[in-house]
Amino acid sequence: MAELTNPERRMLRTLQTRHGEWTLDEILDKCEWKDQAIAVSAGHGLTNHGLVKTSKTSKKSVILGDEGLKALENGLLEKRIWTFIKDNPSVSMKDISNSFERYESGPGIGLLKGLGVSITGGQFEFDDVKAIDNEIELRTKFLENPSFEDPLVEHFNARKNLIEIVELIHTTWKITHDGKNVPSEALIEIKQIADITPELLQSDDWKDAQFRPYDVELEASMPISGRSHPMQALIERIRSIFLEMGFSELVDNYVQTAGWNMDALFIPQDHPAREMQDTFYLDNPDTINLDKQLLRKWKNIHETGGDTESSGWGGNFSEDISQRGLLRTHTTVNTIQYLAKNPTTPCRVFAVDRVFRKESIDRTHLPEFHQIEGIIMEPGANLGMLVSTLKTFYEKMGYPEVRVRPAYFPYTEPSLEVEVKWKGKWLELGGAGIFRPEVTEPLGIKDPVCAWGMGLERLAMLVLGLDDIRQLYISDLEWLRNQPIL
């Protein structure tokens, strides 16, 4: 027979003193243990050795839910309303609505109707006061002493949060024939060493010591440790890919002006394109002052096309609209400002950051989401470079099949939509293009600028295999723990 551990020896010695069933409490008491886990694991070990038999029985029982506990304290809703009616037989529906909370009167009347109270012309009518009293009394008794065997379980289970049915597993242990025959000498507890410490190894004690063997086949619980949220982990991975590709990261504010978010990008002020990105405008700050000279340049470009070959959008450009505060609708608002500050130094910049749009929440939309944005500005930057950069990025993310389709954005020409193949289908992940002269010229940018903006949540759905975007933000611990390490 394999070596028994000390707790197993102690438990078997105890079970040899009486041959019937033992409950957990009895074992804890006789073995002088406080920790249930020791008893359960010793019982498990002895059962594996065939020395003990474990029996488990499950028993259903009823406990009170939140509403049940409240009812126990304040009285059942039907009881409170019934008492009110019984004491003043002339009360009307209106009196009930005045004396009880709105959320109580409706359901309460429903319960009373079920008990035989009727309402005619706003007045209550009932015949058998005694029967109603009795039934309410029975229900109250049930709450004071709930039992799964009571026929009222069905009634209470149909009411919200009054009771909960729980299943309790009751375990008992019984010694087997083999267990009875283990000689008492074999059950003396021995001093075993469980931890190998430097002190032990330095002394000579280890030479004669008994070591506790490891049972590598024992069931163990999954260690739960802190870890990054999958979304954060994905952002980190994206960051490291762009850093590896020679990009620098840009971080900037959520609060921006319509000027930078739209006008700088040649999105016309009175055009449906502005509605394309439903915007959260701010009350505070509702206006953010912009440089007058800059406003004049945008005005010029928007109205007439300025010094570019463009003829602009025509109409009247409003500086007030330009200076309105908003929550950025895309991260392009930040890359364009970076370029405005550094118009002549070639650069590769990216951002993974949060943006806001007035979207109704559904399976694929959230009003707050993230974009993966990037620009390359250098002499000779071109469409081929843009497409191959995006392909490289998605390939590194694990999506080697990428294609682009022609698209339209007011600030790029040509404009592209980027798609990756996933499970045999092409999925649209974002937009890209080369900034138009109407965007670059007023800011003094001379080299071509490749730009893109991609949805991060879309990508997260692919990487994490989700079909509902909301799963990312509902803090479902079970799901979070089981996510792959990215």
Q: Does 260 bind ligand PHE (CB under 6 A)?
A: no
Indicate which single residue of 49, 79, 330, 436 sits in contact with ligand PHE (rule: CB under 6 A): 330
**Nearer to ligand PHE by C-beta: 381 or 432?**
432
Q: Does 451 bind ligand PHE (CB under 6 A)?
A: yes
For 52, which DSSP code?
A: E
| Contact by Cβ (8 Å): 64, 161 | no
Smallest separation, CB 396 to ligand PHE (Å): 20
**Nearer to ligand PHE by C-beta: 322 or 412?**
412
Report the residue number whose CB is nearest to ligand PHE.
453
Q: Which ranges constitute the DSSP H helices of 57-211?
A: 66-74, 77-87, 93-99, 102-114, 129-144, 152-157, 177-180, 198-202
Stretch that binds ligand PHE, among 65-73, 128-136, 179-187, 446-454 (CB under 6 A): 446-454
**Nearer to ligand PHE by C-beta: 14 or 412?**
412
For 214, which DSSP code?
A: P
Rounded Cα–Cα distance for residues 408 and 450 (Å): 15
Going by C-beta distance under 8 Å and a sequence separation of 6 or more, which residues neighbour residue 401? 420, 421
**Nearer to ligand PHE by C-beta: 313 or 409?**
409
Residues in binding contact with ligand PHE, number by CB under 6 A? 11
Smallest separation, CB 332 to ligand PHE (Å): 4
Stretch that binds ligand PHE, among 284-292, 310-318, 396-404, 449-457 (CB under 6 A): 449-457
For 378, which DSSP code?
A: -
Residues 370 to 389: which contact ligand PHE by CB under 6 A? none
| 400 CB neighbour count, 10 Å cutoff | 11
**Nearer to ligand PHE by C-beta: 9 or 330?**
330
Q: Going residue by residue from 406 to 435, which x/- string records binding to ligand PHE, judged by CB under 6 A?
A: ---x--x-----------------xxxx--
Q: Does 369 bind ligand PHE (CB under 6 A)?
A: no
Rounded Cα–Cα distance for residues 417 and 266 (Å): 19
The 163-175 sheet, strands edge to edge: 21-23, 163-175, 52-64
Distance of CA 414 to the CA centre of its chain: 39
**Nearer to ligand PHE by C-beta: 235 or 355?**
355
Rounded Cα–Cα distance for residues 385 and 404 (Å): 13
Q: Does 393 bind ligand PHE (CB under 6 A)?
A: no
Smallest separation, CB 244 to ligand PHE (Å): 21
Q: Does 448 bind ligand PHE (CB under 6 A)?
A: no
Residues 31 to 70: which contact ligand PHE by CB under 6 A? none
Stretch that binds ligand PHE, among 156-164, 182-190, 394-402, 445-453 (CB under 6 A): 445-453
**Nearer to ligand PHE by C-beta: 126 or 254?**
254
Q: Does 453 bind ligand PHE (CB under 6 A)?
A: yes
Share in percent of the chain as helix, strand, coil (round to 5): 40, 20, 35
**Phi, psi dihedral angles at 369 (to 5 degrees):** -150, -175
Rounded Cα–Cα distance for residues 331 and 326 (Å): 13
Going by C-beta distance under 8 Å and a sequence separation of 6 or more, which residues neighbour residue 178? 50, 51
Q: Which amino acid is at 65?
A: G
Smallest separation, CB 405 to ligand PHE (Å): 13
| Contact by Cβ (8 Å): 298, 263 | yes
**Nearer to ligand PHE by C-beta: 105 or 329?**
329
Rounded Cα–Cα distance for residues 356 and 277 (Å): 9
**Nearer to ligand PHE by C-beta: 233 or 349?**
349
Smallest separation, CB 243 to ligand PHE (Å): 20
- Helix, strand or coil, per DSSP, at residue 484: coil
> Which whole-number Å values give the CA distances from 476 to 229, 333, 366, 472, 480, in the listed order?
11, 33, 18, 9, 6
**Nearer to ligand PHE by C-beta: 374 or 442?**
374
Smallest separation, CB 330 to ligand PHE (Å): 3
Q: Does 325 bind ligand PHE (CB under 6 A)?
A: no
By the criterion CB under 6 A, which residues form the site for ligand PHE?
Answer: 330, 332, 409, 412, 430-433, 451-453
